[in-house]
């Protein structure tokens, strides 16, 4: 593996065509790369050069210290057998699906300690509404789960996540994605109607009673409206996604209150 300016960011890797075929991945899929035994997940771009490549940030994610180094590649992005408790203890990455039948799916691609608390929010919303739930959860000893396991929502490929692949063609009415960010307010984005997002905003404002601001997301880079965002493409028409970007306080002290406010709004709509 080499460090190359041709790789656009730290979440991508370039694999030679033959190497990608040998591993069993192709363009857009995720792959687990290991350097010195330690893994990180990357999104694949297949190319015709002889050597694989990552950016300098990608090298840092792997913990390498030189511009040329050897990695092992594994198409099994999520661990196929570990229970959640063992994964947390050993620093692993797992995927879970909760069955539901309400036409609603709750998502947390970055649970565990990647974006802390979001997978627990999926579990609660699924329980409240009988909704389908899908989440990934990752940990790493001493911290660094985000660096090892984070995959941007617009790049998540169901071919790399077996449980997600099983629901990709369901065509849900509404998807709620729980995320975390470093801003001090909660932002509500996605392709769902302005009316629904506004109703959720108003319910959340009442529920958190001024503990933090709640706003409709307006930043084009963070408003969750991309068609290739998993929160949108899982819906039937691509227009039913609600993305919640939450500060840490919302995912810890107000975690259940946030979920219950969203659930109350959706429950009124499906009653």
Which residue numbers in the chain have pLDDT < 50?
Answer: none
Instruction: Phi first, then psi: give them for residue 92, nearest 5 degrees.
Output: -125, 180
152 and 110 Cβ atoms separated by less than 8 Å = no
Given this chain, do its domains 2-74 and 84-270 carry the same CATH topology? no
| Domain-wise residue ranges, the chain | 2-74, 84-270
242 and 192 Cβ atoms separated by less than 8 Å = yes
List all residues 6 or more positions away from 6 whose beta carbon is below 8 Å from its beta carbon.
14, 53
2-74 CATH fold:
Barwin-like endoglucanases (2.40.40)
What was the pLDDT predicted at 220? 87
Q: How many CA atoms lie within 13 A of 204 on its CB side?
A: 26
What was the pLDDT predicted at 63? 96
Bridge partners of residue 36, in order along the sequence: none
What was the pLDDT predicted at 270? 83
84-270 CATH fold:
Aminopeptidase (3.40.630)
214 and 186 Cβ atoms separated by less than 8 Å = yes
What was the pLDDT predicted at 61? 97
What was the pLDDT predicted at 49? 86
What was the pLDDT predicted at 271? 66
241 and 190 Cβ atoms separated by less than 8 Å = yes
What was the pLDDT predicted at 221? 84
Segments in 152-193 forming alpha helices (H): 162-165
């Amino acid at each position: 593996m080499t460090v190359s300016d041709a790789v656009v960011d730290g979440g991508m890797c370039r694999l030679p065509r033959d190497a990608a075929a040998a591993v069993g991945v192709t363009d857009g899929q995720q792959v687990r790369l290991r350097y010195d035994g330690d893994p990180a997940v990357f999104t694949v771009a297949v190319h015709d050069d002889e050597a694989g490549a990552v950016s300098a940030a990608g090298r840092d994610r792997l913990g390498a210290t030189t511009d040329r180094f050897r990695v092992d590649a594994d198409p099994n992005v999520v661990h196929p057998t570990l229970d959640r408790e063992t994964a947390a203890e050993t620093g692993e990455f797992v995927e879970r699906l909760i069955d539901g039948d309400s036409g609603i799916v709750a998502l947390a691609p970055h649970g565990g300690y990647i974006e802390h608390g979001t997978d627990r929010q999926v579990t609660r919303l699924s329980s409240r509404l009988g909704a389908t739930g899908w989440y990934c959860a990752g940990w790493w000893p001493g911290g660094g789960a985000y660096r090892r396991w984070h995959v941007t929502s617009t790049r998540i490929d169901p071919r790399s996540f077996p449980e997600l692949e099983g629901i990709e063609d369901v065509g849900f009415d509404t998807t709620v994605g729980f995320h975390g960010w470093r801003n001090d307010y909660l932002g509500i984005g996605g392709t769902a109607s302005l009316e629904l997002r506004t109703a959720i905003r108003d319910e959340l404002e009442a529920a958190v009673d001024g503990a933090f601001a709640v706003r409709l997301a307006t930043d084009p880079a963070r408003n969750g409206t991309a068609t290739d965002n998993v929160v949108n493409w899982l819906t039937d028409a691509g227009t039913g996604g609600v993305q919640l970007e939450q500060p840490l306080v919302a995912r810890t002290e107000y975690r259940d209150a946030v979920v219950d406010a969203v659930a109350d709004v959706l429950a009124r709509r499906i009653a």
